[in-house]
Amino acid sequence: MPIETPPSSASSDVGAIPRAEFATRHLAAADQFDGWRAHYRDTFDLTLANGRADRYDATHRSWDLGELTFTQAMMPAGVGRRWRHWQRPVRDDWIMVVAAAETRPDVGFRSLARPFEGAGHDGHILSLFLPRDAFRSEAQAFDAAPVRLPHAGMAGLIGDLMLSLDDKLAALPPGGREGVAAALRSMVAACISPSPEHLERAEGVLMYAVREKAARIVRRNLATPGLGPAMIAAALGISRSSLYRAFEPHGGVAAYIQRERLDEAYRRLSIPGQRGTISALAWELGYPDPSTFTRAFRRRFGHAPRDLVGRRTETLD
């Protein structure tokens, strides 16, 4: 008996880009995977690795960015599934895919018009649908691209930008839709078909993506004494000169790291009841000694760390 799937609903969030949503929670537990499979029937054929599931609570959200479509799929993590493209596809878009749970996710890239079979068990998948009409001049390069792009260089930046969009897109005002689509379009074209023209168009967006990814690396490594341009450039898979160029409008890489460390110090010192010593805090944030930390703190905030501590009801030893 065919499963009747509930219609996709539209988001009513005021001041945000409208999104479409489909969820299986409205279906009987035994029918949830069949409903999920039916939802994707125009894109690919989907099956479970073990053949059955007692329930399959999953949600699909999509944001219309004009030329492009960004989607988020939330599925039961660890439940294996397989998919294959149709021999006579309804859609001939290209699709870029990132598994959000991975620390350094590779980027999947393939044409829905070409044969492909895959398997996975990730519970959080992000996809960017790229219509053929929007990339006619790049079609040959796109069709020849490998199906998996390592998380390095340009592909890594696109993957990280997609992860960033997953966090921020819901709050983006409708007027920002065209800007996001243009940024993604230029980055994808430069990644898959890196001509001088495409690279030039994408330069501003690439610098932004470099800063966004570098900022996440900095926040994760504030306690690492060796945190600096060499470490960040190696993690990004880019040259130090490219990293310097991205941060030049913001005072440089070292200055950015310093600000992030000091802002984190201020945040911790402002927490009521926070225990520990200023010396320990200096070490925890990668400073070689407490006096270096205190001087830097005074330059940024106009007073010593202990002055801030003195404003709290409980002080540090």
- Contact (CB, 8 A) for 180 and 138: no
The pLDDT tens digits for 198-244 are 878 777 877 887 888 888 899 999 988 889 999 999 888 788 998 99
pLDDT for the residue numbered 167: 79
* DSSP 3-state of 227: coil
Burial 15-29 (b: 16+ CB within 10 A, else e): ebbebbebbbeebee
What is the distance between the alpha carbons of residues 61 and 74, in angstroms, rounded to a whole number? 9
Q: Which residue has the higher pLDDT, 178 or 147?
A: 147
* Confidence tier at 101 by pLDDT (50, 70, 90): confident
- pLDDT of residue 15 exceeding 60: no
Tell me the CA distances in angstroms from 123 to 109, 110, 189, 295, one per residue in order: 19, 20, 28, 47
Local confidence band at 1 (pLDDT 50, 70, 90 cut-offs): very low
From 16-20, 22-26, 89-93, 255-259, the region with the lowest mean pLDDT: 16-20
Q: Render pLDDT for 298-312 as a digit per residue (tens, 0 to 9).
A: 999 999 888 877 655
* pLDDT for 314: 42
Task: Convert the pLDDT of each residue in 238-278 to its tens digit.
Answer: 889 989 988 998 899 999 999 999 999 999 888 876 777 88
What is this structure's pTM?
0.69
Domain boundary assignment for the chain:
9-194
**Does the pLDDT at position 159 exceed 90?**
no
* Secondary structure of residue 188 in the 3-state scheme: helix
Do strands 117-120 and 81-84 pair parallel, antiparallel, or not at all (unpaired)? antiparallel
- Express each pLDDT in 52-84 by its tens digit: 888 999 999 999 888 899 999 999 988 999 999
Q: How far apart are CA 124 and CA 60, in angstroms?
A: 10
Band (14; pLDDT cuts 50, 70, 90)? very low
Q: What pLDDT, on the 0 to 100 scale, is given for residue 103?
A: 66
pLDDT of 2 higher than 50 = no
